[in-house]
Structure 1
Amino acid sequence: MEVWLDNRNNLAELSNYGIESIDRIIQSIEHSNNTDIPLINSDGKSIIQAGKVIGEIININGADGQNKARSLVGSVNWLLLEFEDWSMIPIENIIAACAGSPTKIAALIRTPAEAQGAAFALEIGVDALVIRPDQQMIDSALIAKSQRGEIVEPISAVKDIGNIELQPLMITNIESGGVSDRYCIDLTSLLEIGEGMLIGSSSSCMVLIHGETLASDYVPSRPFRVNAGPPHAYIVMANRTTKYLSELIAGDEVLIVSDSQTCKSATVGRLKIERRPMILFSFKNTNDKEAQVFMQQAETVRLVTLQRKLRAVTDLTIGENVLGWSSPDARHIGVAVPSEVVER
């Protein structure tokens, strides 16, 4: 993706801005600049480079503007889209129309939010962001360009990030956990059957709490949700650090783990916090390390057995084994450190 500087008003002294990374400058046809950056001239209707018309300027002020842009797909190299009122829908529609054609899209943007929207629309994005001389907008466009450059595969709300070793955890005790603030983690993407999050009262020993991907006789499925537990519980993040549930905010990237030990990241969209009755489970790993987890007393909260079967927490019994994860490291502000700590 390119970044173009729009100086068609010829009012800006470009030396006042950090434009070294700008790909092209648009200017009025009678004006010239002393710069090494490639120049595009404009006569108000077309954009011209090296004396050749390379594209058309389209004002998107409704369905007529969108239809005109779509009618030019395949017949011009560039469509420069300008908006009276910014809207993502026409950009998405025109990106879709240009797919598989030689026509590229440049979009005039005015805010950092518009830069992100245009750069990643339909997981494809426009081919050039056009910005007026303003340092904040120059920086925002260049950041979006850099983010686009980091993506080597189609953008996804869920990113595969390797594997993790799960192990059996044997339940040693079950008792009432009282009533607590229960956190449901709602994601911006959907979970598959077999997927969940690693949650526990110890940062080095957690259970795999399954997503609400199965419906019950009384409630529909919520395949974007994990009923995670109370605020003090730890969760493993996408970068393998930990956070308390109380620290999570929308936009955080959490680790999603499957019963086949594959991992991916997903984005937190919302936290739903309510007072609910809890069950306290104690368990130990294969090295007899003991830990606990509080989970809501509800049939929709499920763990995963060693046979990859789902078990409601209300049906679990002492002596059963469920899938979980352990680490020998302690944690300091969520980061693994080679020291000792006791959590009980």
Structure 2
Amino acid sequence: MPPESVRPPVSAVPSHHTPRSSSVSSKLTWLDIRSLGDARAAIVQEALHHRVEAVVAGDPADLADLPPTVSKVLLLEGGKLPESFGEATVVIVDPAKQGVTPAELALRHPEIEFGRFVEIIDAPTLEDACESSRTEKWSVLLFRDPTKIPLEIVIAAAARATGSMITIAQDLEEAEILFGVLEHGSDGVMMAPKKVGDAAELKRIAEAGIPNLNLTELRVVETSHIGMGERACVDTTTHFGEDEGILVGSHSKGMILCVSETHPLPYMPTRPFRVNAGAIHSYTLGKDERTNYLSELRTGSKLTAVDIKGNTRLVTVGRVKIETRPLISIDAEAPDGRRVNLILQDDWHVRVLGPGGAVLNSTELKPGDTVLGYLPTEDRHVGYPINEFCLEK
């Protein structure tokens, strides 16, 4: 095996069993420099600055000047093996072209990790990809068809494998899709950047997971009926869990966990994709730890779903319904004295979550009851966290 200083970090070899609600995921980013022209030096420096996991070349000489902080991947395209693999720490071969398997090469060069390249164009090559993903330490896969069904099949076939699957993306948009196929996505993406900035964006996409949150128990101190106003129902493109919802609050420094309509209600069927979230001025947590007003959510917006343990995941908004309804204001207090306010539709079927996943009807909340909430430590400017003075009342 390669010396520890040039091996990928442990987090660079993720499990195929990523839980549905997880903190920031660790996906591999491989930068393909084989076709880069005059901008190669600048793009490589950008990639190193943003800590991509690997740089991929077709010539061992192109890996010579790279630092030991990045994995040096040699992807062999021709039919003949080079006399030396140079400083490569990972070598990817196509047995049909080079006439040798990764296992055979590993016996000859135990200091290097080997993997297999598979171009998927039909049923036999799809089976080759499945076999490679089950058995090889590294599998680099190129899918020629635009459909992602073959990738779904390979991911399913490799569910218990310990190796890593790197899928080639043609652009950043495809890279983002590849990371999310079958929820788990490909372990990594290899992409040839088109310009300076693409490497940084690829790394951002790979780290698009969101950190888990530390929820706080809040004590209800007051409720009041405040008359009519507009509230937003947020319909997402996913099923929420019974102990899961979204965080909503009147102020950016305090939010309460509103549960979805997953639990049975009288007079209507369950709608496990919906959260009756609150008045339209309310904040909720979106993508990149940014807050959004409920009123500005649209089809395609991203929201942070949170369960009672603080596990998070991004969900997509399918529709927002804004309607005039009677409203109720709920004030709650944190152990350190901070106040949190939430304004909800004044109706029994609108609910929030308490400790242990207790489902609490908004109209029955009373002083002394406990709800779950989140207390961000930073103020907000256009939704982004910022350290500055900001007074909210």
* TM-score, reference length from structure 2: 0.60
Residue 237 of structure 1: CA displacement?
5.8
Separation in structure 2 between the aligned mates of residue 42 and residue 81 of structure 1, nearest angstrom: 11
Q: Would the alpha carbon gap of residues 113 and 48 (structure 1) be closer, same or farther in structure 2, given more than 3 Å must change?
A: farther
Residue 2 of structure 1: CA displacement?
7.0
Letter paired with 2:213: I
Unpaired runs of 5+ residues, structure 1, are 152-156
Q: Secondary structure at the match of 1:222?
A: coil
Moved more, 214-223 or 47-56: 47-56
Separation in structure 2 between the aligned mates of residue 126 and residue 224 of structure 1, nearest angstrom: 26
Separation in structure 2 between the aligned mates of residue 107 and residue 326 of structure 1, nearest angstrom: 37
Residue 268 of structure 1: CA displacement?
3.5
Q: Secondary structure at the match of 1:280?
A: strand
Q: Do 1:181 and 1:230's aligned partners in 2 also have CA atoms closer than 8 Å?
A: yes
Q: Would the alpha carbon gap of residues 174 and 330 (structure 1) be closer, same or farther in structure 2, given more than 3 Å must change?
A: farther
Unpaired runs of 5+ residues, structure 2, are 1-27, 46-54, 57-72, 107-113
User: Does residue 114 in structure 1 map to residue 174 in structure 2?
Assistant: yes
Q: Secondary structure at the match of 1:272?
A: strand
- Name the residue aligned to 1:167: 219
Separation in structure 2 between the aligned mates of residue 206 and residue 13 of structure 1, nearest angstrom: 48
Give 1:115-134 correspondences, 5 Å limit.
115-119=175-179, 121-122=181-182, 126=186, 129-131=189-191, 134=192
- Name the residue aligned to 1:3: 30
- Larger CA Rg, structure 1 vs 2: 1
Give 1:79-158 correspondences, 5 Å limit.
80-100=140-160, 105-119=165-179, 121-122=181-182, 126=186, 129-131=189-191, 134-136=192-194
Identity of aligned residues (%): 21
Residue 102 of structure 1: CA displacement?
7.3
Letter paired with 2:313: A
Q: Would the alpha carbon gap of residues 144 and 317 (structure 1) be closer, same or farther in structure 2, given more than 3 Å must change?
A: closer
Residue 45 of structure 1: CA displacement?
3.6
Q: Would the alpha carbon gap of residues 303 and 4 (structure 1) be closer, same or farther in structure 2, given more than 3 Å must change?
A: closer
Q: Do 1:188 and 1:268's aligned partners in 2 also have CA atoms closer than 8 Å?
A: yes
Separation in structure 2 between the aligned mates of residue 233 and residue 111 of structure 1, nearest angstrom: 36
Q: Would the alpha carbon gap of residues 289 and 209 (structure 1) be closer, same or farther in structure 2, given more than 3 Å must change?
A: same
Q: Would the alpha carbon gap of residues 137 and 93 (structure 1) be closer, same or farther in structure 2, given more than 3 Å must change?
A: farther
Separation in structure 2 between the aligned mates of residue 216 and residue 52 of structure 1, nearest angstrom: 62
Q: Secondary structure at the match of 1:93?
A: helix
- Name the residue aligned to 2:314: 267
Q: Would the alpha carbon gap of residues 177 and 329 (structure 1) be closer, same or farther in structure 2, given more than 3 Å must change?
A: farther
Q: Cα deviations across residues 18-65 of structure 1 (Å, max 9, x unaligned)?
A: 457332233323697999553666686447599949676544233343
- Name the residue aligned to 1:154: none
Q: Would the alpha carbon gap of residues 280 and 204 (structure 1) be closer, same or farther in structure 2, given more than 3 Å must change?
A: farther
- Name the residue aligned to 1:341: 391
Larger helix proportion, structure 1 or 2? 2
Q: Secondary structure at the match of 1:300?
A: coil
Q: Would the alpha carbon gap of residues 43 and 130 (structure 1) be closer, same or farther in structure 2, given more than 3 Å must change?
A: farther
* TM-score, reference length from structure 1: 0.67
Larger strand proportion, structure 1 or 2? 1
- Name the residue aligned to 1:26: 76
Moved more, 43-52 or 23-32: 43-52
Letter paired with 2:227: S
From 209, 227, 238, the equivalent of 1:176 is: 227
Q: Do 1:198 and 1:325's aligned partners in 2 also have CA atoms closer than 8 Å?
A: yes
Aligned residues: 324
Separation in structure 1 between the aligned mates of residue 166 and residue 365 of structure 2, nearest angstrom: 61
Q: Do 2:283 and 2:293's aligned partners in 1 also have CA atoms closer than 8 Å?
A: yes
Separation in structure 2 between the aligned mates of residue 34 and residue 299 of structure 1, nearest angstrom: 73
Give 1:22-101 correspondences, 5 Å limit.
22=56, 23-29=73-79, 38=88, 45-46=97-98, 52=105, 58-70=118-130, 80-100=140-160
User: Does residue 277 in structure 1 map to residue 356 in structure 2?
Assistant: no
Q: Do 1:169 and 1:285's aligned partners in 2 also have CA atoms closer than 8 Å?
A: yes
Separation in structure 1 between the aligned mates of residue 338 and residue 139 of structure 2, nearest angstrom: 63
Q: Would the alpha carbon gap of residues 97 and 198 (structure 1) be closer, same or farther in structure 2, given more than 3 Å must change?
A: closer
Residue 270 of structure 1: CA displacement?
0.5
Separation in structure 2 between the aligned mates of residue 309 and residue 323 of structure 1, nearest angstrom: 9
Separation in structure 2 between the aligned mates of residue 72 and residue 286 of structure 1, nearest angstrom: 55
Residue 266 of structure 1: CA displacement?
3.0
Letter paired with 2:293: Y
Letter paired with 2:220: P
Letter paired with 1:270: V
